[in-house]
Chains A and B, each alone.
Chain A
């Protein structure tokens, strides 16, 4: 499987920032897919199986909770880990997304160093050797 990450957020700014943060963290990513809401993400998922989905919650058309529910209910997609990055911070919503089996919940605004440890376990060998001159 290629190391593709699907970033779902209605803000193009956030999609760009997340993409940059992932790259700067040293992960070797083959491709980034971007969707501006949940329905758009599902259309992309019909053709591609990404290694990881990073999604917002509050989006038009189909929100992040509905997207995660759809992914987890699809036998072909249910094993894709999902990470939520959102300003949405209500206890009810956090509990709901955690109950759906997301592997991480990061509240915006977030620091770049918060994201890498959450996504690293699900990118496996995609973690590039970014050690500059370090020992092996």
Chain B
């Protein structure tokens, strides 16, 4: 599936652009083709459940993650734990904005607690889209969750 044309991915990108601009003070623009990120990155994953069941992945280069954290908190250079925490919260807000846009009246979605990982020189994930600050990339992709099989299917 070409996720770059998936309407759900497009909505997720819109949500990320809005959250980064309004809450994290970063303007993002869409990039035609994503490129692998070199160096240390912060990878956050958050699940949402409802009419669509998926994992939302967000990956930022470490320098951008640290910069966003500092700006968000209005403080100087943040500790590593705080950078990871802020990235988790950023993904939480993007997912929250996404599910609100998907179901503004009925509000049929729930979110899980995000998980955050530090990775290095990561390959491009399937379906990955890139937005950019102009200087640094942000990667976002969705991973559809398969519905759990009925309990009696285990035999």
A12 touches B85 (CB 8 A): yes
Interface size class of A (residues with CB under 8 A): 20 to 34
CA distance A10 to B108 in the complex (A): 24
B86 CB contacts on chain A under 8 angstroms: 11, 13
Q: Judge if B10 is at the interface, Cβ distance under 8 Å.
A: no
Q: Judge if A73 is at the interface, Cβ distance under 8 Å.
A: no
A12 touches B107 (CB 8 A): no
A87 touches B69 (CB 8 A): no
B100 touches A107 (CB 8 A): yes
CA distance A109 to B22 in the complex (A): 9
B120 CB contacts on chain A under 8 angstroms: none
A94 touches B93 (CB 8 A): no
Known: A11-B92, A87-B95, A89-B100. 9 other contacts (CB 8 A): A12-B82, A13-B82, A13-B89, A16-B73, A89-B99, A90-B107, A91-B106, A91-B108, A109-B93
Which A residues contact B (CB, under 8 angstroms)?
10-14, 16-17, 20, 58-60, 87-94, 107-109
Which B residues contact A (CB, under 8 angstroms)?
19, 22-23, 50, 69, 72-74, 81-82, 85-86, 88-89, 92-93, 95-97, 99-100, 106-113
